[in-house]
Each structure stands twice: as structure tokens, then as C-alpha cells.
């Protein structure tokens, strides 16, 4: 097949333009985008964007060397605009989703993020991109919006529960009162760490490592105790009873010494907290009091209480402080 010099030159220039565009796009992605988005997560969201941009520009420049019919110009320009709009929409949605996920992860201490907000933002961006694309193609979006409005009303009536969970999830995220990583307790008794909030439900990991899946609408209407607000530290009261013959001053001094040692050395304790002791009851067989320690977060309280009781029991033995057994005296009256 013999090609004219004009066609050969056009093909050669097109190949150079495409190759040059790909090379420049590769340089753009490898050096410029990497420096603009130092965070690896954000840079990963734009992976391929530079190469695509270089290819898009290279092909566009390459076609200029071909003598195509003038009647094709409108279709080619429309095609380029459509490809640009779709690619821009895709990368903007991807970058925005990663950015939101990164910000929420930083706020939650590198814990799993709520996917609901990411998905909603992506859907809004995709819908906006589709609207712009339809307008570019000359398709009026007004009839489509009218049809969506009428159809959306019917869908809303049919999906009341689903939409209720969706808006409840958005309300939960917007309020910032419950986030992934928080330990919560519901009035119905369920408790655990929030691991994710999706468009339909909230996932809670219980201390037993079981997963609780709770509809967002139920969570939004429940009375919730959040142990991470205003901060994750939690008070750990430990009830203790000592014999009536004990020296209360000695008991207080010894108990606080043990409590302070545990509070400062235990890995799950808040080291800046000062333990307190308060006598509160003359019980049947003992004088009772409470020692209040503080754990870094909810799940640490069990190990902290465990080690404190062991250390206190050993110290009481050494100091000869008695913890009495429950005693009940029964007086027998002879009716005869």
C-alpha cells in the first residue's frame, strides 16, 4: 500500500505529538502532581490523570495534521469536550472522596472512616458532571429534572425506611457527636466501638468482637452514651470494704499510695490523673469506700481495675489491713 508523502508526514507528526504528549503527561504526573499532593493517599487518587491529560492533548494536536472534512470538526470538538468532562468528573470525585476520608481518619485517630459522606459527595459530583455533559451534548435537562421530580416522589414514598436511614446517617455525621472509633452504649443495652456509618446502617464492634449492625434511624432516635465525648478518658471507680477495727488514716494513706503507683505505671491509665478515695458507707460488716482511677479509654478500665485490686490486696496483707467476710448475726429468741 503506497501512501502519499503528505499522509506519511501527517502520520509521523501525529505519532510525535501523541508520544510527546504521553511523555509530558508522565513527567507531569511523576513530578508536579506528586509535589502538589504530598500525601500518598491524595496522589493515588490522581493516578493516571497526568498520562491521560498528555494523551488527550497529544491526540488533539496530532489530528490537526490530518486533512479531515470540515463537517467533522463539530463532532470532533464535541467528542473532546465530552471526554474531558467525563474524565474531570471522575478524577474530581475520586480526589474529593479520598480527601474527605483522609480528613475524617485524621480526626478519628487513623480509624476506619464513615463511608456515607464520601459516597454522598461522589454521587453529587457525578450527577453534576452528567448534567454538564448533557448540556454540552445539547440535551435539555429540564424535562429530565421534571421527570425525576415526579418519579422521585413515588420512589420516596416506596422507600421511606431506606431514605429515613440515609438522612439519619447524614444527620449523625453532620452533628459530629458520634464518629467511627467512639465507644457508645445504647439505651437498649448494646455497646461497642463504632467502626463505620454507611447510607443504611451503623456498624458497631462489641468488646466480645461481635458485630452489631444498627439502622441509622434507630441510632438517631435512641438515647446514646458516648464515652469518647468530650474525651476518651473514663473514670474507674473501685469499691473496697475494710474491717471496723482498721485505722482509717492508715487505710487511706496505703490505698492512695497503691492507686498512685498503678495510675502512673499502668499502660492503660491516664498518668496525669490524681486518684481519689472517699468513705461512703457503714455497711453490715465493713466500712466501705471507693477509689477512683482513670483509664485512657473505655476498654482499658478492665485491666486497670484488675491490676489495682491485685496490688491493693497484696499491700493490705503486708500492712495487715483486714478485708472482712460478710457476717450476719442472728439472735434466737426462745418463745417458751
Q: What is the 3-state secondary structure (H, E, C) of 227-267?
A: CCCCCCCEEEEEEEEECCCCCHHHHHHHHHHHHHHHHHHCC
Q: Domain 234-319 falls in which CATH fold?
A: Alpha-Beta Plaits (3.30.70)
CA 67 to the chain's CA centroid = 55
CA distances to 65, 97, 213 from 197, rounded to whole Å, are: 54, 15, 10
Tell me if 226 sits within 8 A of 175, measured CB to CB.
Answer: no
User: Within a 10 A sphere around the Cβ of 197, how many other Cβ atoms?
Assistant: 26
What is the pTM assigned to this prediction?
A: 0.55
Q: Give the residue-averaged pLDDT of 1-18.
A: 58
How do residues 102-132 score in pLDDT, each as one tens digit?
666 655 443 444 566 677 778 888 888 888 7
Q: Domain 160-226 falls in which CATH fold?
A: SH3 type barrels. (2.30.30)
Instruction: Assign 197 to helix, strand or coil.
Output: strand
Give the orientation angle of helix 160-175 with respect to helix 142-158, to 10 degrees: 100
Tell me if 304 sits within 8 A of 269, measured CB to CB.
Answer: yes
3-state secondary structure string across 21-58: HHHHHHHHHHHHHHHHCCCHHHHHHCCCHHHHHHHHHH
How do residues 233-284 score in pLDDT, each as one tens digit?
999 999 999 999 999 999 999 999 999 999 999 999 999 999 999 999 999 8
184 DSSP 8-state letter:
E
Amino acid at each position: 500500500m503506497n501512501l502519499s508523502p503528505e499522509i506519511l508526514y501527517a502520520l509521523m507528526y501525529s505519532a510525535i505529538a501523541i508520544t510527546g504528549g504521553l511523555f509530558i503527561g508522565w513527567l507531569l504526573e511523576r513530578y508536579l502532581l506528586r509535589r502538589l499532593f504530598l500525601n500518598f493517599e491524595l496522589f493515588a487518587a490522581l493516578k493516571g490523570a497526568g498520562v491521560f491529560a498528555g494523551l488527550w492533548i497529544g491526540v488533539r494536536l496530532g489530528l490537526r495534521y490530518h486533512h479531515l472534512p470540515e463537517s467533522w470538526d463539530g463532532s470532533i470538538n464535541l467528542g473532546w469536550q465530552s471526554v474531558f468532562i467525563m474524565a474531570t468528573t471522575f478524577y474530581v470525585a475520586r480526589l474529593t472522596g479520598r480527601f474527605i476520608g483522609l480528613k475524617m481518619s485524621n480526626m478519628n485517630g487513623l480509624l476506619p472512616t464513615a463511608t456515607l459522606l464520601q459516597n454522598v459527595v461522589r454521587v453529587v459530583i457525578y450527577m453534576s458532571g452528567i448534567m454538564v455533559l448533557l448540556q454540552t451534548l445539547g440535551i435539555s435537562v429540564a424535562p429530565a429534572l421534571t421527570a425525576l421530580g415526579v418519579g422521585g416522589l413515588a420512589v420516596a414514598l416506596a422507600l421511606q425506611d431506606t431514605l429515613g436511614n440515609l438522612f439519619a446517617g447524614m444527620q449523625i455525621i453532620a452533628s459530629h457527636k458520634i464518629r467511627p472509633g467512639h465507644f457508645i452504649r445504647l439505651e437498649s443495652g448494646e455497646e461497642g466501638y463504632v467502626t463505620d456509618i454507611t447510607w443504611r446502617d451503623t456498624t458497631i464492634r462489641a468488646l466480645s468482637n461481635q458485630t452489631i449492625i444498627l439502622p441509622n434511624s434507630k441510632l438517631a432516635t435512641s438515647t446514646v452514651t458516648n464515652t469518647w465525648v468530650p474525651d476518651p478518658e473514663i473514670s474507674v471507680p473501685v469499691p473496697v470494704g475494710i474491717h471496723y477495727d482498721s485505722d482509717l488514716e492508715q487505710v487511706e494513706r496505703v490505698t492512695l499510695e497503691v492507686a498512685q503507683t498503678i495510675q502512673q505505671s499502668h499502660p492503660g491509665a491516664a498518668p496525669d490523673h490524681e486518684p481519689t478515695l472517699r468513705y461512703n458507707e457503714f455497711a453490715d460488716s465493713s466500712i466501705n469506700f471507693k477509689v477512683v482511677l482513670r483509664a485512657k479509654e473505655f476498654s482499658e478500665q478492665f485491666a486497670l481495675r484488675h491490676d489495682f485490686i491485685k496490688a491493693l490486696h497484696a499491700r493490705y496483707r503486708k500492712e495487715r489491713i483486714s478485708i472482712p467476710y460478710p457476717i450476719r448475726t442472728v439472735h434466737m429468741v426462745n418463745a417458751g
